[in-house]
Structure 1
Protein backbone atom coordinates (compact mmCIF):
# COMPACT_ATOMS: atom_id res chain seq x y z
CA UNK A 1 0.00 0.00 0.00
CA UNK A 2 1.25 3.48 -0.83
CA UNK A 3 0.85 6.52 1.40
CA UNK A 4 1.31 10.13 0.37
CA UNK A 5 3.26 12.67 2.44
CA UNK A 6 5.85 10.22 3.81
CA UNK A 7 8.55 10.16 1.16
CA UNK A 8 11.57 12.23 2.11
CA UNK A 9 10.90 12.22 5.84
CA UNK A 10 13.35 10.96 8.49
CA UNK A 11 12.09 8.56 11.15
CA UNK A 12 13.57 7.13 14.33
CA UNK A 13 12.10 3.79 15.42
CA UNK A 14 13.00 2.27 18.80
CA UNK A 15 12.78 -1.42 19.52
CA UNK A 16 13.53 -1.87 15.83
CA UNK A 17 15.34 -5.20 16.10
CA UNK A 18 12.15 -7.28 15.97
CA UNK A 19 8.37 -7.33 16.08
CA UNK A 20 6.43 -4.10 15.68
CA UNK A 21 9.54 -1.94 15.56
CA UNK A 22 11.10 -3.93 12.74
CA UNK A 23 7.82 -3.95 10.82
CA UNK A 24 7.42 -0.18 11.25
CA UNK A 25 10.95 0.44 10.00
CA UNK A 26 10.45 -1.75 6.93
CA UNK A 27 7.06 -0.22 6.13
CA UNK A 28 8.25 3.37 6.44
CA UNK A 29 11.33 2.62 4.35
CA UNK A 30 9.08 1.25 1.61
CA UNK A 31 7.34 4.65 1.60
CA UNK A 32 10.57 6.51 0.95
CA UNK A 33 11.32 7.43 4.56
CA UNK A 34 14.94 7.54 5.77
CA UNK A 35 14.79 5.20 8.74
CA UNK A 36 16.95 5.08 11.85
CA UNK A 37 16.71 1.71 13.58
CA UNK A 38 17.48 1.92 17.29
CA UNK A 39 17.76 -1.01 19.70
CA UNK A 40 20.43 -2.86 21.69
CA UNK A 41 21.13 -5.69 19.21
CA UNK A 42 23.63 -4.13 16.81
CA UNK A 43 24.03 -7.14 14.51
CA UNK A 44 20.30 -7.62 14.12
CA UNK A 45 19.79 -3.91 13.40
CA UNK A 46 22.46 -3.94 10.73
CA UNK A 47 20.86 -7.01 9.14
CA UNK A 48 17.54 -5.15 8.84
CA UNK A 49 19.28 -2.01 7.58
CA UNK A 50 21.04 -4.04 4.87
CA UNK A 51 17.69 -5.45 3.77
CA UNK A 52 16.22 -1.96 3.52
CA UNK A 53 19.20 -0.70 1.53
CA UNK A 54 19.11 -3.74 -0.75
CA UNK A 55 15.49 -2.88 -1.55
CA UNK A 56 16.46 0.66 -2.48
CA UNK A 57 15.70 2.38 0.80
CA UNK A 58 17.79 4.38 3.25
CA UNK A 59 18.51 3.06 6.74
CA UNK A 60 20.89 3.71 9.59
CA UNK A 61 21.43 1.16 12.38
CA UNK A 62 22.22 2.71 15.75
CA UNK A 63 22.79 0.46 18.76
CA UNK A 64 21.59 2.11 21.96
CA UNK A 65 19.88 1.32 25.24
CA UNK A 66 16.79 3.48 25.78
CA UNK A 67 17.04 2.98 29.54
CA UNK A 68 20.36 4.87 29.50
CA UNK A 69 20.01 8.61 28.88
CA UNK A 70 23.65 8.98 27.84
CA UNK A 71 23.31 6.12 25.35
CA UNK A 72 20.28 7.78 23.78
CA UNK A 73 22.13 11.10 23.67
CA UNK A 74 25.03 9.53 21.79
CA UNK A 75 22.57 7.91 19.41
CA UNK A 76 20.90 11.26 18.75
CA UNK A 77 24.27 12.80 17.88
CA UNK A 78 25.03 9.95 15.47
CA UNK A 79 21.65 10.33 13.80
CA UNK A 80 22.05 14.08 13.28
CA UNK A 81 25.54 13.61 11.89
CA UNK A 82 24.20 11.25 9.21
CA UNK A 83 20.67 12.44 8.49
CA UNK A 84 20.27 15.78 10.23
CA UNK A 85 16.97 16.38 12.00
CA UNK A 86 14.40 13.66 12.67
CA UNK A 87 10.75 14.55 11.97
CA UNK A 88 9.04 11.27 12.93
CA UNK A 89 9.70 9.40 16.19
CA UNK A 90 8.14 6.02 16.98
CA UNK A 91 8.54 5.06 20.63
CA UNK A 92 8.10 1.30 20.44
CA UNK A 93 10.74 -0.26 22.71
CA UNK A 94 9.09 -2.23 25.51
CA UNK A 95 9.16 -5.32 27.67
CA UNK A 96 6.31 -7.37 29.15
CA UNK A 97 7.01 -9.39 32.31
CA UNK A 98 3.72 -10.47 33.87
CA UNK A 99 3.66 -12.15 37.26
CA UNK A 100 1.47 -12.01 40.37
CA UNK A 101 2.13 -8.86 42.38
CA UNK A 102 2.61 -11.05 45.47
CA UNK A 103 5.76 -12.48 43.88
CA UNK A 104 7.35 -9.11 44.55
CA UNK A 105 9.68 -9.20 41.55
CA UNK A 106 11.14 -5.76 42.03
CA UNK A 107 13.82 -6.36 39.39
CA UNK A 108 11.14 -7.02 36.77
CA UNK A 109 9.10 -4.00 37.87
CA UNK A 110 12.18 -1.82 37.53
CA UNK A 111 12.99 -3.22 34.12
CA UNK A 112 9.49 -2.50 32.82
CA UNK A 113 9.46 1.00 34.28
CA UNK A 114 12.92 1.76 32.94
CA UNK A 115 12.20 0.46 29.44
CA UNK A 116 8.52 1.20 28.90
CA UNK A 117 8.28 4.59 30.60
CA UNK A 118 11.69 6.11 31.28
CA UNK A 119 13.02 4.80 27.97
CA UNK A 120 10.25 6.60 26.09
CA UNK A 121 11.00 9.80 28.01
CA UNK A 122 14.71 9.57 27.21
CA UNK A 123 13.90 9.33 23.50
CA UNK A 124 11.38 12.17 23.66
CA UNK A 125 13.89 14.37 25.45
CA UNK A 126 16.56 13.65 22.84
CA UNK A 127 14.40 14.34 19.79
CA UNK A 128 11.55 16.68 20.78
CA UNK A 129 13.67 19.66 19.74
CA UNK A 130 13.96 18.19 16.24
CA UNK A 131 10.20 17.77 16.02
CA UNK A 132 9.48 21.30 17.25
CA UNK A 133 12.01 22.83 14.87
CA UNK A 134 10.60 20.90 11.93
CA UNK A 135 7.07 22.02 12.70
CA UNK A 136 8.17 25.63 13.22
CA UNK A 137 9.53 25.62 9.67
CA UNK A 138 6.22 24.34 8.30
CA UNK A 139 7.15 20.66 8.09
CA UNK A 140 5.19 17.70 9.37
CA UNK A 141 6.37 16.38 12.73
CA UNK A 142 5.08 13.27 14.49
CA UNK A 143 5.62 11.57 17.83
CA UNK A 144 4.02 8.12 17.88
CA UNK A 145 3.94 6.19 21.15
CA UNK A 146 3.13 2.49 21.10
CA UNK A 147 1.10 1.72 24.22
CA UNK A 148 -1.24 -1.27 24.68
CA UNK A 149 -4.86 -2.19 25.24
CA UNK A 150 -3.54 -3.19 28.68
CA UNK A 151 -3.58 0.52 29.50
CA UNK A 152 -7.35 0.16 29.86
CA UNK A 153 -8.36 -3.50 30.03
CA UNK A 154 -7.79 -5.64 33.11
CA UNK A 155 -5.52 -8.66 32.76
CA UNK A 156 -4.77 -10.49 36.04
CA UNK A 157 -1.02 -10.69 36.82
CA UNK A 158 -0.23 -7.87 34.37
CA UNK A 159 -0.58 -5.06 36.93
CA UNK A 160 2.83 -3.45 36.53
CA UNK A 161 2.97 -3.89 32.77
CA UNK A 162 -0.52 -2.41 32.44
CA UNK A 163 0.45 0.48 34.69
CA UNK A 164 3.46 1.32 32.51
CA UNK A 165 1.28 1.31 29.41
CA UNK A 166 -1.35 3.46 31.12
CA UNK A 167 1.46 5.89 31.86
CA UNK A 168 2.36 6.05 28.17
CA UNK A 169 -1.26 6.57 27.15
CA UNK A 170 -1.70 9.43 29.61
CA UNK A 171 1.72 10.87 28.77
CA UNK A 172 0.69 11.01 25.13
CA UNK A 173 -2.48 12.93 25.99
CA UNK A 174 -0.56 15.38 28.17
CA UNK A 175 2.12 15.92 25.54
CA UNK A 176 -0.52 16.95 23.04
CA UNK A 177 -1.27 19.95 25.27
CA UNK A 178 2.40 20.98 25.04
CA UNK A 179 3.30 19.98 21.50
CA UNK A 180 -0.01 20.42 19.69
CA UNK A 181 0.17 24.24 19.89
CA UNK A 182 3.60 23.93 18.25
CA UNK A 183 2.07 21.86 15.40
CA UNK A 184 3.77 18.65 16.52
CA UNK A 185 1.34 15.74 16.29
CA UNK A 186 1.23 13.16 19.08
CA UNK A 187 -0.42 9.81 18.41
CA UNK A 188 -0.94 7.02 20.92
CA UNK A 189 -1.47 3.54 19.44
CA UNK A 190 -2.81 0.74 21.63
CA UNK A 191 -2.51 -2.70 20.04
CA UNK A 192 -4.47 -5.67 21.29
CA UNK A 193 -3.17 -9.22 20.93
CA UNK A 194 -0.27 -9.01 18.50
CA UNK A 195 2.30 -11.59 17.45
CA UNK A 196 5.66 -10.24 18.68
CA UNK A 197 8.63 -11.37 20.77
CA UNK A 198 7.08 -10.01 23.98
CA UNK A 199 5.87 -13.46 25.01
CA UNK A 200 9.44 -14.73 24.84
CA UNK A 201 10.31 -12.51 27.81
CA UNK A 202 7.86 -14.36 30.07
CA UNK A 203 9.14 -16.99 32.49
CA UNK A 204 5.76 -18.31 33.68
CA UNK A 205 4.61 -21.36 31.65
CA UNK A 206 1.11 -20.88 33.09
CA UNK A 207 0.83 -17.27 31.92
CA UNK A 208 2.38 -18.14 28.55
CA UNK A 209 -0.22 -20.88 28.08
CA UNK A 210 -2.95 -18.43 29.08
CA UNK A 211 -1.74 -15.98 26.44
CA UNK A 212 -1.65 -18.74 23.83
CA UNK A 213 -5.23 -19.61 24.73
CA UNK A 214 -6.34 -16.03 24.18
CA UNK A 215 -4.57 -16.00 20.83
CA UNK A 216 -6.32 -19.22 19.81
CA UNK A 217 -9.68 -17.78 20.86
CA UNK A 218 -9.42 -14.28 19.43
CA UNK A 219 -6.70 -14.49 16.82
CA UNK A 220 -3.85 -11.99 16.74
CA UNK A 221 -2.75 -8.98 14.79
CA UNK A 222 0.49 -9.17 12.86
CA UNK A 223 3.27 -6.68 13.53
CA UNK A 224 2.75 -5.47 9.97
CA UNK A 225 -0.83 -4.49 10.87
CA UNK A 226 0.48 -2.05 13.47
CA UNK A 227 3.19 -0.84 11.08
CA UNK A 228 0.52 -0.11 8.47
CA UNK A 229 -1.37 1.88 11.10
CA UNK A 230 1.72 3.93 11.95
CA UNK A 231 2.22 4.72 8.27
CA UNK A 232 -1.43 5.71 7.93
CA UNK A 233 -1.61 8.10 10.88
CA UNK A 234 1.68 9.81 10.03
CA UNK A 235 0.73 10.27 6.38
CA UNK A 236 -2.40 12.32 7.13
CA UNK A 237 -2.41 16.01 6.12
CA UNK A 238 -0.35 18.13 8.51
CA UNK A 239 -3.42 19.63 10.21
CA UNK A 240 -4.94 16.20 11.05
CA UNK A 241 -3.84 14.44 14.23
CA UNK A 242 -5.23 10.99 14.98
CA UNK A 243 -4.74 11.31 18.70
CA UNK A 244 -5.43 7.76 19.86
CA UNK A 245 -6.04 4.50 18.04
CA UNK A 246 -6.86 1.13 19.60
CA UNK A 247 -6.31 -1.75 17.19
CA UNK A 248 -7.72 -5.16 18.12
CA UNK A 249 -8.23 -8.50 16.45
CA UNK A 250 -11.87 -8.47 15.37
CA UNK A 251 -12.82 -11.16 17.92
CA UNK A 252 -11.11 -9.51 20.88
CA UNK A 253 -13.64 -7.61 22.98
Structure 2
Protein backbone atom coordinates (compact mmCIF):
# COMPACT_ATOMS: atom_id res chain seq x y z
CA UNK A 1 0.00 0.00 0.00
CA UNK A 2 1.22 3.51 -0.77
CA UNK A 3 0.60 6.56 1.36
CA UNK A 4 1.04 9.40 -1.10
CA UNK A 5 -0.15 12.11 1.29
CA UNK A 6 2.95 11.58 3.44
CA UNK A 7 5.21 12.98 0.74
CA UNK A 8 4.83 16.61 1.86
CA UNK A 9 5.09 15.93 5.60
CA UNK A 10 7.80 16.73 8.12
CA UNK A 11 7.94 14.13 10.87
CA UNK A 12 9.67 13.84 14.22
CA UNK A 13 10.08 10.30 15.56
CA UNK A 14 11.47 9.60 19.02
CA UNK A 15 13.03 6.29 19.95
CA UNK A 16 14.34 6.13 16.39
CA UNK A 17 17.50 4.22 17.25
CA UNK A 18 15.72 0.86 17.19
CA UNK A 19 12.45 -1.03 17.14
CA UNK A 20 9.17 0.67 16.34
CA UNK A 21 10.73 4.12 16.17
CA UNK A 22 13.36 3.10 13.62
CA UNK A 23 10.85 1.14 11.54
CA UNK A 24 8.37 4.03 11.60
CA UNK A 25 10.98 6.59 10.59
CA UNK A 26 12.17 4.41 7.71
CA UNK A 27 8.66 3.80 6.42
CA UNK A 28 7.57 7.44 6.63
CA UNK A 29 10.71 8.44 4.72
CA UNK A 30 10.10 5.70 2.15
CA UNK A 31 6.75 7.33 1.43
CA UNK A 32 8.34 10.73 0.96
CA UNK A 33 8.24 12.37 4.39
CA UNK A 34 11.20 14.28 5.73
CA UNK A 35 11.99 12.58 9.03
CA UNK A 36 13.93 13.78 12.06
CA UNK A 37 15.35 10.79 13.94
CA UNK A 38 15.54 11.40 17.69
CA UNK A 39 17.28 9.12 20.17
CA UNK A 40 20.29 9.04 22.48
CA UNK A 41 22.45 6.60 20.50
CA UNK A 42 24.17 8.69 17.87
CA UNK A 43 25.79 5.73 16.11
CA UNK A 44 22.43 4.04 15.58
CA UNK A 45 20.86 7.24 14.25
CA UNK A 46 23.74 7.83 11.86
CA UNK A 47 23.48 4.28 10.55
CA UNK A 48 19.69 4.56 10.07
CA UNK A 49 19.98 7.94 8.37
CA UNK A 50 22.55 6.45 6.01
CA UNK A 51 20.12 3.68 5.06
CA UNK A 52 17.22 6.08 4.61
CA UNK A 53 19.16 8.63 2.60
CA UNK A 54 18.67 12.35 2.18
CA UNK A 55 15.20 12.51 3.73
CA UNK A 56 16.47 11.75 7.24
CA UNK A 57 18.01 14.04 9.84
CA UNK A 58 19.72 12.31 12.78
CA UNK A 59 19.30 14.34 15.98
CA UNK A 60 20.88 13.02 19.15
CA UNK A 61 18.47 13.86 21.96
CA UNK A 62 17.31 12.62 25.35
CA UNK A 63 13.58 12.88 26.02
CA UNK A 64 14.26 12.93 29.77
CA UNK A 65 16.00 16.31 29.43
CA UNK A 66 14.03 19.51 28.78
CA UNK A 67 16.78 21.42 26.98
CA UNK A 68 17.76 18.40 24.89
CA UNK A 69 14.23 18.15 23.49
CA UNK A 70 13.99 21.90 22.93
CA UNK A 71 17.36 21.95 21.15
CA UNK A 72 16.33 19.04 18.95
CA UNK A 73 13.21 20.86 17.80
CA UNK A 74 15.23 24.00 17.09
CA UNK A 75 17.57 21.98 14.89
CA UNK A 76 14.62 20.46 13.03
CA UNK A 77 13.20 23.93 12.45
CA UNK A 78 16.55 25.12 11.11
CA UNK A 79 16.81 22.19 8.71
CA UNK A 80 13.27 21.25 7.75
CA UNK A 81 11.00 23.95 9.12
CA UNK A 82 7.66 23.23 10.78
CA UNK A 83 6.83 19.77 12.14
CA UNK A 84 3.39 18.45 11.21
CA UNK A 85 3.72 14.82 12.33
CA UNK A 86 5.16 13.64 15.65
CA UNK A 87 5.51 10.05 16.84
CA UNK A 88 6.30 9.39 20.50
CA UNK A 89 7.94 5.97 20.32
CA UNK A 90 10.68 6.34 22.95
CA UNK A 91 10.06 4.05 25.90
CA UNK A 92 11.61 1.67 28.37
CA UNK A 93 10.22 -1.49 30.01
CA UNK A 94 11.80 -2.60 33.30
CA UNK A 95 9.50 -5.12 34.99
CA UNK A 96 10.00 -6.28 38.56
CA UNK A 97 7.63 -6.90 41.47
CA UNK A 98 6.67 -3.67 43.21
CA UNK A 99 7.73 -5.32 46.47
CA UNK A 100 11.32 -5.22 45.19
CA UNK A 101 11.16 -1.45 45.64
CA UNK A 102 13.20 -0.66 42.53
CA UNK A 103 12.80 3.10 42.64
CA UNK A 104 15.60 3.52 40.10
CA UNK A 105 13.55 1.61 37.55
CA UNK A 106 10.32 3.42 38.48
CA UNK A 107 11.98 6.79 37.98
CA UNK A 108 13.49 5.81 34.66
CA UNK A 109 10.18 4.51 33.29
CA UNK A 110 8.17 7.47 34.53
CA UNK A 111 10.66 10.01 33.19
CA UNK A 112 10.98 8.34 29.79
CA UNK A 113 7.52 6.95 29.13
CA UNK A 114 5.41 9.71 30.70
CA UNK A 115 7.44 12.88 31.21
CA UNK A 116 9.41 12.25 28.02
CA UNK A 117 6.20 12.03 26.05
CA UNK A 118 4.99 15.25 27.65
CA UNK A 119 8.23 17.07 26.83
CA UNK A 120 7.85 16.19 23.17
CA UNK A 121 4.16 17.11 23.18
CA UNK A 122 5.01 20.52 24.64
CA UNK A 123 7.74 21.08 22.06
CA UNK A 124 5.73 20.12 18.96
CA UNK A 125 2.22 21.35 19.79
CA UNK A 126 2.75 24.91 18.48
CA UNK A 127 3.88 23.48 15.13
CA UNK A 128 0.96 21.05 14.95
CA UNK A 129 -1.55 23.79 15.72
CA UNK A 130 0.03 26.04 13.10
CA UNK A 131 -0.07 23.31 10.45
CA UNK A 132 -3.72 22.57 11.23
CA UNK A 133 -4.64 26.26 11.17
CA UNK A 134 -3.12 26.49 7.68
CA UNK A 135 -5.43 23.71 6.50
CA UNK A 136 -2.92 20.87 6.43
CA UNK A 137 -2.82 17.57 8.29
CA UNK A 138 -1.36 17.61 11.78
CA UNK A 139 -0.72 14.39 13.70
CA UNK A 140 0.44 13.41 17.16
CA UNK A 141 0.90 9.65 17.55
CA UNK A 142 1.67 8.13 20.95
CA UNK A 143 2.85 4.53 21.23
CA UNK A 144 1.34 3.03 24.37
CA UNK A 145 0.87 -0.69 25.11
CA UNK A 146 -1.83 -3.22 25.90
CA UNK A 147 -0.26 -3.06 29.35
CA UNK A 148 -2.34 0.10 29.76
CA UNK A 149 -5.40 -2.05 30.43
CA UNK A 150 -4.19 -5.67 30.70
CA UNK A 151 -2.74 -6.98 33.96
CA UNK A 152 0.70 -8.57 33.83
CA UNK A 153 2.22 -9.47 37.22
CA UNK A 154 5.53 -7.65 37.88
CA UNK A 155 4.74 -5.08 35.18
CA UNK A 156 2.73 -2.77 37.45
CA UNK A 157 4.82 0.38 37.07
CA UNK A 158 5.42 -0.10 33.35
CA UNK A 159 1.71 -0.66 32.83
CA UNK A 160 0.91 2.40 34.91
CA UNK A 161 3.13 4.54 32.67
CA UNK A 162 1.40 3.22 29.58
CA UNK A 163 -2.03 3.77 31.10
CA UNK A 164 -0.92 7.36 31.64
CA UNK A 165 0.03 7.66 27.96
CA UNK A 166 -3.34 6.25 26.90
CA UNK A 167 -5.25 8.67 29.14
CA UNK A 168 -3.00 11.55 28.13
CA UNK A 169 -3.78 10.82 24.48
CA UNK A 170 -7.53 10.89 25.15
CA UNK A 171 -7.29 14.18 27.01
CA UNK A 172 -5.06 15.74 24.36
CA UNK A 173 -7.57 14.67 21.73
CA UNK A 174 -10.26 16.60 23.59
CA UNK A 175 -8.01 19.68 23.69
CA UNK A 176 -6.47 19.55 20.23
CA UNK A 177 -9.10 17.77 18.15
CA UNK A 178 -11.41 20.82 17.98
CA UNK A 179 -8.41 22.68 16.51
CA UNK A 180 -7.94 19.97 13.84
CA UNK A 181 -4.89 18.25 15.33
CA UNK A 182 -5.36 14.49 15.24
CA UNK A 183 -4.20 12.54 18.28
CA UNK A 184 -3.78 8.79 17.91
CA UNK A 185 -2.94 6.29 20.61
CA UNK A 186 -1.56 2.91 19.51
CA UNK A 187 -1.39 -0.02 21.90
CA UNK A 188 0.74 -2.90 20.58
CA UNK A 189 0.78 -6.35 22.08
CA UNK A 190 3.77 -8.68 21.97
CA UNK A 191 6.24 -7.16 19.52
CA UNK A 192 9.73 -8.30 18.57
CA UNK A 193 11.93 -5.36 19.56
CA UNK A 194 14.84 -4.86 21.94
CA UNK A 195 12.49 -3.52 24.63
CA UNK A 196 12.83 -6.69 26.65
CA UNK A 197 16.63 -6.72 26.50
CA UNK A 198 16.93 -4.45 29.54
CA UNK A 199 15.10 -6.79 31.91
CA UNK A 200 17.42 -7.84 34.75
CA UNK A 201 15.13 -10.50 36.25
CA UNK A 202 16.01 -13.97 34.91
CA UNK A 203 12.56 -15.36 35.62
CA UNK A 204 10.81 -12.56 33.78
CA UNK A 205 13.28 -12.80 30.90
CA UNK A 206 12.48 -16.51 30.57
CA UNK A 207 8.76 -15.79 30.80
CA UNK A 208 8.94 -13.24 28.00
CA UNK A 209 11.07 -15.61 25.92
CA UNK A 210 8.41 -18.28 26.35
CA UNK A 211 5.79 -15.92 24.97
CA UNK A 212 7.90 -15.32 21.88
CA UNK A 213 8.27 -19.09 21.42
CA UNK A 214 4.53 -19.61 21.74
CA UNK A 215 3.20 -16.65 19.76
CA UNK A 216 3.98 -15.31 16.31
CA UNK A 217 4.82 -11.84 17.60
CA UNK A 218 4.26 -8.59 15.79
CA UNK A 219 7.24 -6.98 14.11
CA UNK A 220 8.26 -3.36 14.48
CA UNK A 221 7.34 -2.96 10.81
CA UNK A 222 3.76 -4.03 11.57
CA UNK A 223 3.40 -1.14 14.00
CA UNK A 224 5.14 1.25 11.61
CA UNK A 225 2.69 0.33 8.87
CA UNK A 226 -0.19 1.19 11.19
CA UNK A 227 1.36 4.59 11.96
CA UNK A 228 1.81 5.31 8.26
CA UNK A 229 -1.74 4.26 7.46
CA UNK A 230 -3.21 6.32 10.29
CA UNK A 231 -1.35 9.51 9.47
CA UNK A 232 -2.02 9.31 5.74
CA UNK A 233 -5.83 9.38 6.03
CA UNK A 234 -7.75 12.51 4.95
CA UNK A 235 -7.40 15.21 7.64
CA UNK A 236 -11.08 14.79 8.56
CA UNK A 237 -10.37 11.20 9.70
CA UNK A 238 -8.87 10.52 13.13
CA UNK A 239 -8.17 6.87 13.93
CA UNK A 240 -7.98 7.79 17.56
CA UNK A 241 -7.30 4.50 19.35
CA UNK A 242 -5.91 1.28 17.92
CA UNK A 243 -5.00 -1.97 19.65
CA UNK A 244 -2.70 -4.10 17.49
CA UNK A 245 -2.06 -7.68 18.62
CA UNK A 246 -0.54 -10.87 17.29
CA UNK A 247 -3.40 -13.04 16.12
CA UNK A 248 -2.55 -15.65 18.73
CA UNK A 249 -2.71 -13.06 21.53
CA UNK A 250 -5.96 -11.46 20.40
- Sort the TM-score into its range (normalised by shorter chain): over 0.9
Partner SS for 2:141: strand
Following superposition, the deviation at residue 134 of structure 1 comes to 0.2
Q: Does 1:182 align with 2:143?
A: no
Instruction: Tell me how far apart the structure 1 counterparts of residues 72 and 145 of structure 2 sit (CA, whole Å).
Output: 26
Instruction: Tell me how far apart the structure 2 counterparts of residues 213 and 155 of structure 1 sit (CA, whole Å).
Output: 14
1:111 to 102, 108, 112: 108
Deviations 1:65-111 (A, max 9, x none): 00001110011110100000000000000000000100000010000
Following superposition, the deviation at residue 218 of structure 1 comes to 2.1
Partner SS for 1:157: coil
- Partner residue in 1 for 2:45: 45
- Partner residue in 2 for 1:123: 120
Instruction: Tell me how far apart the structure 1 counterparts of residues 183 and 159 of structure 2 sit (CA, whole Å).
Output: 21
2:90 to 82, 88, 93: 93
Deviations 1:198-246 (A, max 9, x none): 1111011110110111122222000000000000000111100000000
Moved more, 141-150 or 41-50: 41-50
Instruction: Give the TM-score taking structure 1 as reference length.
Output: 0.98
2:167 to 161, 167, 170: 170
Deviations 1:111-144 (A, max 9, x none): 0000000000000101100000000000100000
Q: Does 1:62 align with 2:72?
A: no
Partner SS for 1:246: strand
| Superposition misfits of 4+ residues, deviation over 3 angstroms | none
Gaps of at least 5 residues in structure 2 are none
User: How many pairs are equivalent?
Assistant: 250
Q: Does 1:149 align with 2:151?
A: no
Q: How does 1:127-142 map to 2 (within 5 A)?
A: 127-142=124-139
Following superposition, the deviation at residue 196 of structure 1 comes to 0.5
Partner SS for 1:36: strand
Partner SS for 2:152: coil
Instruction: Give the TM-score taking structure 2 as reference length.
Output: 0.99
RMSD, aligned α-carbons: 0.7
Instruction: Tell me how far apart the structure 2 counterparts of residues 46 and 139 of structure 1 sit (CA, whole Å).
Output: 30
2:77 to 72, 77, 80: 80
Instruction: Tell me how far apart the structure 2 counterparts of residues 162 and 4 of structure 1 sit (CA, whole Å).
Output: 35
Gaps of at least 5 residues in structure 1 are none
